[in-house]
C-alpha cells in the first residue's frame, strides 16, 4: 500500500448488496485495502472505488468500521423482515377494509339517489295535487254561480206558475 493522501472530495456514499458486499455509487464492487503507515489510521482497512488507483471514478473512500456500523446483522435483518411482513399483512387487511367501506359508501349513495328520486316524485305529486285543488276551487265557485242562477230561474218559474194559476182561476 502506498502512502496516498486522501483527496478532500472523497465520497462516502456506498451501497451494500444482499450478499453483504460493498459497492460504489456506480455499482462496482469496492476494493478492500489497508491504510499505509503514514495514513490517518495506519493499518486500518477501508473500502474504495476499484478504479480509485487507476483512472478516476467516483472516488469512494470509506473506512471499514464505518461500513460495519451501517450493515445490519442477519438477526436484525430477520426482525426487520418480520416487521415488514406484518406491515404487509396489515396493509392487505386495511386494503380489504377500504374496499368494504367503499362498497358500503356505494350502496349508501344508491339509497340516497333512490330517496332523492322519490323526493322529486313526491314533490311532483304535491304540485299536481295543488293544481287539482285550485281547479276544484274554481269549479266549486262556478257551481255556486250556476246554483244561484238556477235558484233565480226557479223563482221566476214559480212566480210565472203562480200568475198562471191566478189567471186560470179567475
Q: Name the site residues for Zn ion (rule: CB under 5 A).
A: 24, 26, 28, 49, 57-58
DSSP summary character for residue 52:
T
The helix (run of H) or strand (run of E) holding residue 23 is strand 22-23
Within 10 A of 119 (CB to CB), how many other CB atoms are there? 10
Residue 77 C-beta: closest distance to Zn ion, Å = 25
Nearer to Zn ion by C-beta: 15 or 39? 15
Residue 48 C-beta: closest distance to Zn ion, Å = 8
Nearer to Zn ion by C-beta: 9 or 73? 9
Nearer to Zn ion by C-beta: 8 or 75? 8
Residue 20 C-beta: closest distance to Zn ion, Å = 18
Nearer to Zn ion by C-beta: 26 or 160? 26
The phi, psi pair for 45, rounded to 5°, reads: -85, 150
How is residue 12 written as a grid cell? 462516502
Nearer to Zn ion by C-beta: 13 or 19? 13
Residues forming a β-bridge with 47: 32, 62
Residue 41 C-beta: closest distance to Zn ion, Å = 21
Give the list of residues 6+ apart from residue 12 with CB closer than 8 angstroms, or none.
60, 61, 62, 66
Residue 25 C-beta: closest distance to Zn ion, Å = 6
* Alpha carbon 84 to its chain's center: 24
Rounded Cα distance between 91 and 84, Å, is: 10
Amino acid at each position: 500500500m502506498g502512502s496516498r493522501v486522501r483527496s478532500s472530495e472523497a465520497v462516502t456514499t456506498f451501497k451494500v448488496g444482499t450478499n453483504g458486499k460493498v459497492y460504489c455509487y456506480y455499482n462496482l464492487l469496492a476494493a478492500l485495502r489497508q491504510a499505509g503507515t503514514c495514513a490517518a489510521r495506519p493499518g486500518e482497512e477501508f473500502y474504495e472505488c476499484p478504479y480509485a488507483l487507476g483512472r478516476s471514478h467516483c472516488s469512494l473512500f470509506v473506512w471499514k468500521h464505518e461500513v460495519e456500523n451501517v450493515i445490519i446483522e442477519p438477526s436484525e435483518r430477520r426482525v426487520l423482515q418480520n416487521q415488514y411482513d406484518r406491515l404487509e399483512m396489515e396493509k392487505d387487511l386495511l386494503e380489504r377494509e377500504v374496499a368494504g367501506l367503499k362498497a358500503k359508501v356505494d350502496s349508501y349513495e344508491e339509497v340516497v339517489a333512490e330517496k332523492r328520486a322519490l323526493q322529486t316524485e313526491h314533490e311532483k305529486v304535491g304540485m299536481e295535487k295543488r293544481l287539482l285543488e285550485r281547479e276544484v276551487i274554481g269549479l266549486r265557485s262556478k257551481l255556486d254561480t250556476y246554483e244561484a242562477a238556477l235558484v233565480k230561474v226557479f223563482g221566476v218559474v214559480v212566480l210565472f206558475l203562480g200568475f198562471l194559476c191566478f189567471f186560470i182561476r179567475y
